[in-house]
Amino acid sequence: MVTKSPVLPLKFSCKICDYNTCNKKDFNRHTSTVKHQKRTNDNKMVTNDNKMITKSSEKPHTMFACDCGKQFVYASGLSRHKKTCDQKEKEKEKEKAPIDKELIIELIKQNNQFGSMLAEQNKHMVALMEKGVGVGNTTNTNSYNTTNKNKFNLNIFLNEQCKDAMNIMDFVDSLKLQITDLERVGELGYAKGISNIIVNALHSLDKFKRPIHCSDMKRETIYVKDKDAWEKENDNKEKITTMIKHVAHKNIKQLSEWKEEHPEYKNGDSVVHEQFLKIVNESMGGHDEEEDSKNYNKIIQAVAKEVVICKEEEVRLE
């Protein structure tokens, strides 16, 4: 039996597009496509298994180039590119650069001239000072004094304006209590009654003679004169608390005199007896340390409120 060898068909191949076919019509159809024509540009290289076929291409495309170096086949591509190309901006910056440098040089010159002028002025001022001419001293002194006059000075107020103030214990010793003060404590209670005694006594004194002044009511910052010196009261308010205890003791000592004036207090059914019990109960203060502490705080607040320094008024009086 005789076998015929198969006939190998021609194979058409486009290497540029990687396209292969056995049908020449299909191959011709391929070469006419837009895709193939764009890739081949000037020439179209086509081959079969035995030889290379070269077909002349259409006229070469005109290339459109931008100043930045990029090239485009179509004018529309170049137009779109120019909208985003920064070449013009770079050229503008190059044009501005010499102007900026000149400006910087000019500023440096002006700065040097200004520095020289300041140096000359300083030399002139030093020369005037060496000659004893007080340039600007009068103005500065007046300005300084004006500023000081418009600002309250606590040290000056206490140590100069209040230098003749009483010591706190001398103030207590000077109190002239009345039987009515004892009775008022019975009516108002320990805190209000003792507060009234102290506040009334302070009001009877000139403000510069008072032994107590408050510079800050919110923080209860109190200054007390003791042993001929002004001192800021500590957090426990020890000096004022001691004053309160002495005033309360001085008040209750009047009880003997009160009993002599009101012998009917011995009658347990009488109104005077009830008044006597109330006076004794209120004049003794609290029943324990906690109640005593509350009473002292109330009295301190009441006293401080009446001796707050009016800083604006003191500034006007200076």
Q: What is the domain extent for residue 56?
A: 12-65+74-79
Is residue 158 in a domain? yes
Distance, first Cα to last Cα, the chain: 145
29 shares its domain with 156: no
Q: How many domains does the chain have?
A: 2
The predicted structure's pLDDT at residue 143: 42
138 within a domain of the structure (yes/no): no
Q: Flag whether 167 is in a domain.
A: yes
What does the pLDDT read at residue 27?
83
* pLDDT for the residue numbered 91: 62
Which pLDDT does position 87 carry in this prediction?
A: 65
Of 20, 48, 79, the residue that ends a domain is 79
The letter for the amino acid at 46 is: V
Sequence-separated (6 or more) residues with CB below 8 Å from residue 224? 168, 211, 212, 230, 231, 233, 239, 240
Place of tokens 């008040």: 251
**Mean pLDDT by 10-residue block, N- to C-terminus, for the chain (318 residues)?**
54 80 83 80 48 46 73 78 72 56 72 76 70 45 47 87 94 94 94 95 94 91 94 92 95 93 90 92 88 94 91 58
DSSP type of residue 286:
-
Distances from the Cα of 80 to the Cα of 72, 85, 86, 89, 92, angstroms: 10, 9, 13, 17, 21
Quickly count: other Cβ atoms within 10 Å of residue 127's Cβ: 10
User: What pLDDT was estimated at residue 315?
Assistant: 53
> Which segments of 74-142 are extended strands (E)?
none
Instruction: Assess if residue 260 is contained within a domain.
Output: yes
Among the candidates 34, 52, 79, a domain finishes at 79
Q: Looking at the domain assignment, is residue 89 inside a domain?
A: no
Q: Is residue 21 part of a domain?
A: yes
Tell whether 61 and 155 lie within a shared domain: no
| The model's pTM | 0.52
Q: Six-digit token pair at 231? A: 């001192």
- Phi then psi for 86, rounded to 5 degrees? -95, 15
* CA-based nearest residue to 54, from 100, 15, 7: 15
- The domain boundary, picked from 29, 45, 79, lies at 79
Of the CA atoms within 13 Å of residue 142, those in its CB half-sphere come to: 4
